[in-house]
C-alpha cells in the first residue's frame, strides 16, 4: 500500500489517531492510557502512537476550522482496520477519496488566505489614513510614515552603510512579531539589504535618534505571507539608531 502515501491526507487516514484496537473495550483503553512505560520497547511503541496522534490532531483541527467535519471514530476504525489489513475500501478507492479531500482542503485554504489578504489590505489602508492625521507624523513621497520620538545629533547613514539598531516590530493591531529588545542585543545589517521601508526610513535618522515608522505593505513584504506577518500587512516599527559603519569608498580605477 506504499503508493497511497502519494497524498498527504492518506498518511493522516492510515496512520490514525491512536494505536488503540477497535476491539478493545472501555476498561482496556483506560488501562492502556495509565500503563507505566518501563522498557525501551514500550516507550518506542508508545512514542509511535503518540506522535501519530499529535500529528493527526493538528490536521483534524485545521480541517474542522475550514468547515469540513471529521468523524474521529471512523479515523480510529480505519486505523485499526489498516493494522489488521481488513480494509473496507480498496487502495484505489482510498486514493481517489483522499485526493479529492486534499483538493477540497486546498481550495478552502486558498479561499481563506484570499479573504484574509483582502481584509488585511483594507485594514492597512484605514490605519494609514488615520495615522497620517496624527500630530507629528510625516509622510514621504513613497507613502512611508514616520514620527520622531527622540532626535539624535550623530551621523546619518546612507543606503550602502551598515547600521546598528534596536527595534520593536508590531502589526497595526499591536501584535509583536519581532524585537531585538527581546533577544537582549542590537542588530547590525547593511541598510540596503532590508525591506524598502527600512532602507528609506533609517536614512532619515541621526545616530542617537528613535523614530516610529509605519510602513505600508508595498514597502514591506507586499502580499507575501511570512507566517508571523499576514499578506498585505502594514508594519509598525520603533527603531533606535545606535551606530553607523560607513561603507568603504570604491577604489579608483588604476591609471592606464
Enumerate the active-site residues: 167, 177-178, 195, 221, 237
The alpha carbon of 191 is separated from its chain's Cα centroid by a whole number of angstroms, namely: 24
Distance, CA of 152 to CA of 177 (rounded, Å): 26
Alpha-carbon distances of 230 from 69, 121, 123, 129, 171, rounded to whole Å? 26, 10, 12, 20, 9
User: In which residue are the cell numbers 476504525 written?
Assistant: 77
Cβ atoms of residues 240 and 212 within 8 Å: no
Across 162-234, the runs of DSSP E, i.e. the strands, are 162-171, 176-179, 187-190, 210-215
DSSP assignment letter at 192? G
Amino acid at each position: 500500500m506504499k503508493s497511497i502515501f502519494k497524498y498527504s491526507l492518506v498518511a493522516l487516514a492510515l496512520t490514525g489517531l491512536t494505536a488503540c484496537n477497535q476491539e478493545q473495550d472501555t476498561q482496556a483503553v483506560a488501562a492502556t492510557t495509565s500503563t507505566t512505560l518501563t522498557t525501551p520497547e514500550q516507550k518506542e511503541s508508545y512514542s509511535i502512537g503518540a506522535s501519530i496522534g499529535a500529528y493527526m490532531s493538528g490536521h483534524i483541527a485545521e480541517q474542522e476550522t475550514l468547515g469540513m467535519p471529521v468523524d474521529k471514530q471512523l479515523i480510529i476504525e480505519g486505523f485499526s482496520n489498516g493494522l489488521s489489513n481488513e480494509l473496507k475500501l480498496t487502495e484505489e478507492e482510498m486514493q481517489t477519496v483522499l485526493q479529492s479531500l486534499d483538493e477540497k482542503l486546498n481550495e478552502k485554504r486558498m479561499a481563506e488566505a484570499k479573504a484574509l489578504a483582502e481584509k488585511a489590505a483594507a485594514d492597512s489602508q484605514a490605519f494609514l489614513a488615520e495615522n497620517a492625521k496624527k500630530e507629528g507624523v510625516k509622510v514621504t513621497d513613497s507613502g512611508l510614515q514616520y514620527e520622531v520620538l527622540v532626535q539624535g545629533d550623530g551621523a546619518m547613514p546612507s543606503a550602502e552603510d551598515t547600521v546598528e539598531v534596536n527595534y520593536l516590530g508590531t502589526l497595526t493591531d499591536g501584535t509583536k512579531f519581532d524585537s531585538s529588545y527581546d533577544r537582549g542585543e542590537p542588530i547590525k545589517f547593511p541598510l540596503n539589504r532590508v525591506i524598502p521601508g527600512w532602507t528609506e526610513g533609517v536614512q532619515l535618522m541621526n545616530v542617537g535618534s528613535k523614530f516610529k515608522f509605519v510602513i505600508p505593505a508595498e514597502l514591506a513584504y507586499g502580499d507575501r505571507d511570512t507566517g508571523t506577518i499576514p499578506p498585505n500587512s502594514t508594519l509598525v516599527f520603533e527603531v533606535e539608531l545606535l551606530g553607523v559603519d560607513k561603507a568603504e569608498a570604491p577604489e579608483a580605477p588604476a591609471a592606464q
